[in-house]
Chains A and B, each alone.
Chain A
Amino acid sequence: MMHNPHSAFQFRHVVGERTFGFVDLADLMAKATPARSGDRLAGVAAQSAEERAIAQMTLADVPLKVFLEHALVPYEEDEITRLILDDHDKNAFSVISHLTVGGFRDWLLSDLATSEVLTKIRPGVTPEMAAAVSKIMRNQDLILVAKKCHVKTAFRNTIGLPGHLSTRLQPNHPTDDLTGIAASMLDGLLYANGDAVIGINPATDNVQQATRLIKMMDEVIQHYEIPTQSCVLTHVTNTIECIEQGAPVDLVFQSIGGTQATNDSFGFNLATLAEAQAAALSLNRGTVGNNVMYFETGQGSALSANANHGLDQQTCEARAYAVARKFNPLLVNTVVGFIGPEYLYDGKEITRAGLEDHFSGKLLGLPMGCDVCYTNHAEADQNDMDNLLTLLGVAGCTFVMGIPGSDDIMLNYQTTSFHDALYARRVLGLKPSPEFGLWLAKMEIFKNNEQFVLNHQVPDAFHKSLHKMIGGKP
């Protein structure tokens, strides 16, 4: 690798008599990215398999320090670049500052990088460093290192302990019908789901509707004394208004991207998120912790908003994690297969992206979960989701979605089911959050908490409600 800022190619690699050139760091990062449709659509992908492999070799020789000197999106134009560079902790970085990208991979895999050390270096790792090293890591590397990264958060329960997997209960309904939503909530709770959050994507997205759904979930959580939290996935400015009007808001949601222009297109900036976080904290509704934010991300959002600045989609995604970690979220969810085949074409690309996002998020210190999902126009099916769910379970993923029979009848896509979460628990021995686990035992939803054996009967506490709807034992 030669690094020459004055040449037409800032990075070159010579193989025999041929020289491969890369215009700048962004070009090198993009061409080193494992193949995916979104980077081809953006016109930034490597032109051949060989060029990609050479780009990876070239990137491996780039010192990590270079990422502090060469902003991929100009500092003056982009508040996320400013956030990344202004908040960079040189002290934490000193442990790895001598390394190249390739050396960083070796170091992360080595026994030098214990869970404790990985926690210490977090503020010294930038999203671009995480993205760069992930591009030269195999899937098993992404899994192994992510598993070493422990990220604990809390609100009404404790999320992210090693050996645990939480689930978001997602009771969406195409008309926000309360009975329909309650039916899916009951189904999920009786299948032991919902410890990460009970989170609804509203079909009608306004303040009035969000308030109605927030109140409904709050009543259920209080009635059954469930150690979990609720969230309506409406725009951050709507949630701020809900709080002002006195709605019982647990978590504030927002979809976030990795460039300022992306977030402009989403209608918010860092100041908006700070305002929302302060508003939610002022309600003081957490019992065991104060992580009040829930963010969703996904590769491709920046290009989709014409705001990718010539970057590959995974680098943009990693930059979104800088936004997330500024606000100490309870949960971050990469909605990996939702965006469609023009960004991630098939099961292989979705799987790779899911593992990259989980690794990058964890390395940067985020409570990273994954919406293991696909749309019906992607080349993917339930088997691909089984594979990714299993891989993420092994990698120590913080949470996944839970939905009746994998079928989201509002958003028209498929994600993991209540059953799928129990599968992951049984094959990998992954427990729900401790407080929620105690509740499941108390309510007799689990007959055996250690072996994840469900009660054959409807637990007593739910008889009355069910009787009202469908008859049977009161």
Chain B
Amino acid sequence: MSQETTHSDKSFPTHPHAEPVTENPWRKLNAFTDARVGLGRSGISVPTKHLLAFQLAHAQAIDAVHTQLDSKALAKALVEQDWAKDWTKHCAPLLLHSRATDRATYLQRPDYGRRLDDASANILDEHRDSTSQNYDLAIVVVDGLSSLAVEQNTLPFLQALSGYIKSWNIAPVCFVEQGRVAIGDDVCERLNAKCVLVLIGERPGLSSPDSLGLYLTWGGKVGYTDAYRNCISNVRPAGLVYQEAARKAFYLLNEARTLKLSGVKLKDRSDDDLIVDTSKESKNFLIS
């Protein structure tokens, strides 16, 4: 197509000061969804403003993956909380590490991230041999794929949960670096705890770099698959808020303790009274 035919096309803006960006009137639909709708266009391309906003979101997600969790500082902050006194007065939090030595290894070897390194295994074995405690629950905080999620959400969530489990005998809280979900089973087995709750940074999305996941396993043992776990996802201020997450987590913990199992056989019915009837749902706006 030559420039001339472009300019003779009546549909094309010919004014010398015409805006290069075409805005979309349906941009306002972003009130109804987080999807990046109605971005407008420069020609047919994404306008500069939205291109740069996307890059910022991606940068935050990358940083969430690659920034190392300061588990020492987080453990120290936990010790300073009044609501956590019962959990920390007999034993300080334990700082552990997986067999993945660094982030590049972690990302390529999920098998290493599922097991404790030798030093960490020794710490747990020595603790178990030094105590006659029968723990009801091991709480294991793992960096996973978002240190941001762990730093931001761990203490507020645990505070919300603490009110529910005052009578439970809680094992020393464990902080694990370069860990995957299944490393909780390694901890659970070594501490001989009845149940394990893993708090882990989830794979960050562009609009949710700070999402914390909760995984519960009854009698966790090395080699258990996801079929033995129950999951609560998207715990963060803009997602599942702490009080709700704690209510759901306690529901599952209590059910697991009653039924002595977890995973596919343990159904989350904590929302059964909330189910809405979709049969009377109105038509979507596109056909109205």
Q: Are B287 and A220 in contact (CB under 8 A)?
A: yes
**B196-239 interface code vs A (CB 8 A; 1 in, 0 out):** 00000001111111000000000000000000000000000000
Known: A41-B110, A182-B285, A470-B25. 9 other contacts (CB 8 A): A177-B32, A190-B26, A220-B286, A223-B287, A342-B110, A376-B206, A407-B207, A419-B46, A469-B28
Shortest distance between the CB of A303 and any CB in chain B (Å):
11
Q: List B residues at the A interface (Cβ < 8 Å).
A: 1, 9, 11-13, 22, 24-26, 28-39, 41, 44-46, 50, 54-55, 57-58, 61-62, 64-65, 107-111, 145, 203-209, 278, 281, 283-288
A9 sits at the interface (CB 8 A)? no
Once A376-B58, A376-B65 are accepted as A-B contacts, the answer to whether A456 and B13 lie under 8 Å apart by CB is yes
A-B contact pairs, 5 of them (CB 8 A): A208-B278, A377-B107, A407-B206, A419-B46, A469-B28
A37 proximity list for chain B (CB < 8 A)? 108
B54 proximity list for chain A (CB < 8 A)? 382, 405-407
Most buried by B among A180, A412, A465: A412
Shortest distance between the CB of A364 and any CB in chain B (Å):
30
Shortest distance between the CB of B168 and any CB in chain A (Å):
32
A454 proximity list for chain B (CB < 8 A)? 22, 41, 44
How far apart sit A465 and B32, CA to CA, in the bound complex (Å)?
14
Q: List A residues at the B interface (Cβ < 8 Å).
A: 37, 40-41, 171, 173-174, 177-187, 190, 208, 212, 216, 219-220, 223-224, 340-342, 345, 375-377, 381-382, 403-409, 412-414, 417, 419, 422-423, 425-426, 447-448, 451-456, 458, 464-466, 468-470, 472
Once A180-B35, A376-B206 are accepted as A-B contacts, the answer to whether A456 and B50 lie under 8 Å apart by CB is no
Q: Are B46 and A376 in contact (CB under 8 A)?
A: no
Once A342-B108, A448-B9 are accepted as A-B contacts, the answer to whether A470 and B29 lie under 8 Å apart by CB is yes
A183 proximity list for chain B (CB < 8 A)? 26, 29-30, 32-33, 35, 37
A405 proximity list for chain B (CB < 8 A)? 35-37, 39, 46, 50, 54
Once A405-B46, A417-B46, A466-B26 are accepted as A-B contacts, the answer to whether A447 and B283 lie under 8 Å apart by CB is no
Once A223-B287, A345-B108 are accepted as A-B contacts, the answer to whether A407 and B36 lie under 8 Å apart by CB is yes
Q: Are B284 and A452 in contact (CB under 8 A)?
A: no
Which residue of A has the minimal Cβ distance to B282?
A178
Q: Are B287 and A404 in contact (CB under 8 A)?
A: no
Q: Are B45 and A423 in contact (CB under 8 A)?
A: yes
Which residue of A has the minimal Cβ distance to B63?
A376
Which residue of A has the minimal Cβ distance to B53?
A405
Select which of A178, A219, A342, A419 is within 8 A of B41 by beta carbon.
A419
Which residue of A has the minimal Cβ distance to B34?
A409
B283 proximity list for chain A (CB < 8 A)? 219
Once A376-B62, A377-B107, A469-B29 are accepted as A-B contacts, the answer to whether A178 and B39 lie under 8 Å apart by CB is no
How far apart sit A178 and B58, CA to CA, in the bound complex (Å)?
27
B45 proximity list for chain A (CB < 8 A)? 419, 423
How far apart sit A216 and B288, CA to CA, in the bound complex (Å)?
12
How far apart sit A91 and B29, CA to CA, in the bound complex (Å)?
57
Shortest distance between the CB of B50 and any CB in chain A (Å):
7
Once A208-B278, A405-B36, A419-B39 are accepted as A-B contacts, the answer to whether A376 and B204 lie under 8 Å apart by CB is yes
How far apart sit A212 and B284, CA to CA, in the bound complex (Å)?
11
How far apart sit A238 and B285, CA to CA, in the bound complex (Å)?
27
Shortest distance between the CB of B9 and any CB in chain A (Å):
7
Once A404-B36, A458-B26 are accepted as A-B contacts, the answer to whether A465 and B11 lie under 8 Å apart by CB is no
Q: Are B107 and A409 in contact (CB under 8 A)?
A: no
A404 proximity list for chain B (CB < 8 A)? 35-37, 39
Which residue of A has the minimal Cβ distance to B208?
A412
How far apart sit A131 and B28, CA to CA, in the bound complex (Å)?
48
Shortest distance between the CB of A276 and any CB in chain B (Å):
24
Which residue of B has the minimal Cβ distance to A444?
B11
Shortest distance between the CB of B1 and any CB in chain A (Å):
5
Q: Are A182 and B9 in contact (CB under 8 A)?
A: no
B111 proximity list for chain A (CB < 8 A)? 41
Shortest distance between the CB of B271 and any CB in chain A (Å):
12
How far apart sit A341 and B109, CA to CA, in the bound complex (Å)?
9
Shortest distance between the CB of A40 and any CB in chain B (Å):
7
Once A412-B208, A448-B9 are accepted as A-B contacts, the answer to whether A216 and B284 lie under 8 Å apart by CB is yes
How far apart sit A376 and B63, CA to CA, in the bound complex (Å)?
10
How far apart sit A465 and B286, CA to CA, in the bound complex (Å)?
5
A171 proximity list for chain B (CB < 8 A)? 35
Q: Are B207 and A409 in contact (CB under 8 A)?
A: yes
